[in-house]
Amino acid sequence: MILRMNKAAFASALAAFLLGLSWGTAEARHLKLYSYDVLSHGQTAVTYTYDYVSGVTGLSGHPNLHEIEIEHGITNRWTQSIYIDYDVLGGRVSEISALKTEFNYAFFEKGQYFADFRLNVEYAKAINNKVDAFDSTNAADTIEFRPIFEKDFDTFVIVLSPVIVKELSAPNGVPLADWNYGYANAVMMTVNEHIGVNLEFHGSTTDDTHYLVPNVDVALGDNMSIGLGVGFGLTRNSDDFTFRASIVRTFGGSS
């Protein structure tokens, strides 16, 4: 019991630390969190993610972000994903805004070292009118590097993930932005075999935007799960509120 109480106190202190671990990022988008785990060889996952955003500084209207991802396990450590982003901003934007592909690789065996390590590399191609649901124009093609460090403390899991983004090309001769640095960190706990809860921390020092995101994941059988989260902006430049929902369905391999 004392050990459990000490771990709970440690988790609370670490939450404050994670919130302060602030690296900039190009754009919040879906406030996505990745853990160490990847699909098994031959397994495929289809994920739909929806974000409703309100209280965006300097923007009238509420961005609606839709994303469909198909991810396939090439090996037990390497998965490859393709994405389609569809952005909606009432009366102004309603279009596919980006096509993406992502390389994901989990290093070492889970639990082999003090912390587990996974690397995600994503290439995003801006398409159509180079406009997104935040009414930003001349959107650039980007590459994103996301190293993910995870440590399991039995009663809770810590995820630390810097997010490093670089613009590769932009339309109309627009100068490319410098490297941007972000973070997507979390404290994750399992309630039972069907329910998990996260306290997530996302943000950007580039724009002074920081978010606290409580989230719950619910397993609907062996091959399907849903996630529901709410994001609260913590600074003046942050979006006031984000509602996030996702559904994942896996096929093949070992569920």
Q: Which amino acid, one-letter code, is at 218? A: V
CATH code assigned at 82: 2.40.160.40
Between the alpha carbon of residue 124 and those of residues 27, 39, 139, 168, the distances in Å are 13, 22, 10, 10
Matching residue, tokens 């670490």: 14
Q: Per mean pLDDT, which range of 22-36, 43-57, 127-141, 238-252 is the poorest?
A: 22-36
What whole-number distance in Å separates Cα of residue 102 and Cα of residue 120?
A: 7
- What is this structure's pTM? 0.85
Exposed/middle/buried for 188, CB within 10 Å: 0-12, 13-18, 19+?
A: buried
- The predicted pLDDT at position 19 comes to 47
Length of the chain as a residue count: 255
Q: How many CB atoms lie within 10 A of CB 192?
A: 7
Over residues 133-139, mean pLDDT = 83
Over residues 210-233, mean pLDDT = 96
As for how many domains the chain has, the answer is 1
Closest CA to 227 of 69, 118, 56: 69
Q: Which amino acid, one-letter code, is at 6? A: N
What whole-number distance in Å separates Cα of residue 246 and Cα of residue 206?
A: 27
Closest CA to 184 of 118, 109, 103: 118
Closest CA to 201 of 26, 19, 27: 19
- What value does the CA radius of gyration of the chain take, rounded to a whole number of Å? 18
Give yes or no for residue 17 having a pLDDT over 80: no
pLDDT digits (tens, 9 = 90+) for 159-171: 999 999 999 988 8
pLDDT bracket for residue 129 (50, 70, 90): low
Determine the structural domain holding residue 246 and report its residue range: 2-251
